[in-house]
């Protein structure tokens, strides 16, 4: 009888978070986010610029604004992408 490895018990959000952090780091730029979402940067910028955008409202908890630049926290994005509720 073999022991189950730790990866069998990790949640989908944890797996996504590990991938995002290993690929992009803890903070993703808008360019990184466009790559993850498989969208053109110009289209993503346009969508996030609209005040009534569903995507903008969805990503708001993960957004960190420093000066004029927006960054997106990898752990928060992982929870959003996995469809889990943030606690």
pTM of the model: 0.82
Q: Which domains does the chain have, with CATH numbers?
A: 10-82 (1.10.10)
Q: For 4-13, 22-31, 55-64, which range has the lowest pLDDT when averaged over its residues?
A: 4-13
The predicted-structure confidence for 43-85, as pLDDT tens digits, reads as follows: 999 999 999 999 999 999 999 999 999 999 999 999 999 986 5
Torsion of CA 75, 76, 77, 78, to 10 degrees: 50
pLDDT, tens only, 63-72: 999 999 999 9
Per-residue model confidence (pLDDT) at position 85: 57
């Amino acid at each position: 009888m073999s022991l189950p490895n730790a990866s069998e018990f990790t949640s989908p959000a944890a797996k996504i978070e590990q991938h995002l952090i290993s690929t992009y780091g803890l903070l993703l730029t808008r360019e990184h986010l466009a790559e993850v979402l498989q969208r053109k940067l110009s289209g993503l910028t346009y969508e996030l610029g609209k005040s009534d955008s569903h995507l903008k409202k969805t990503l708001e908890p993960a957004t960190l604004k420093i000066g004029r630049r927006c960054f997106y926290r990898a752990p928060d994005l992982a929870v959003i992408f996995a469809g889990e509720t943030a606690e």
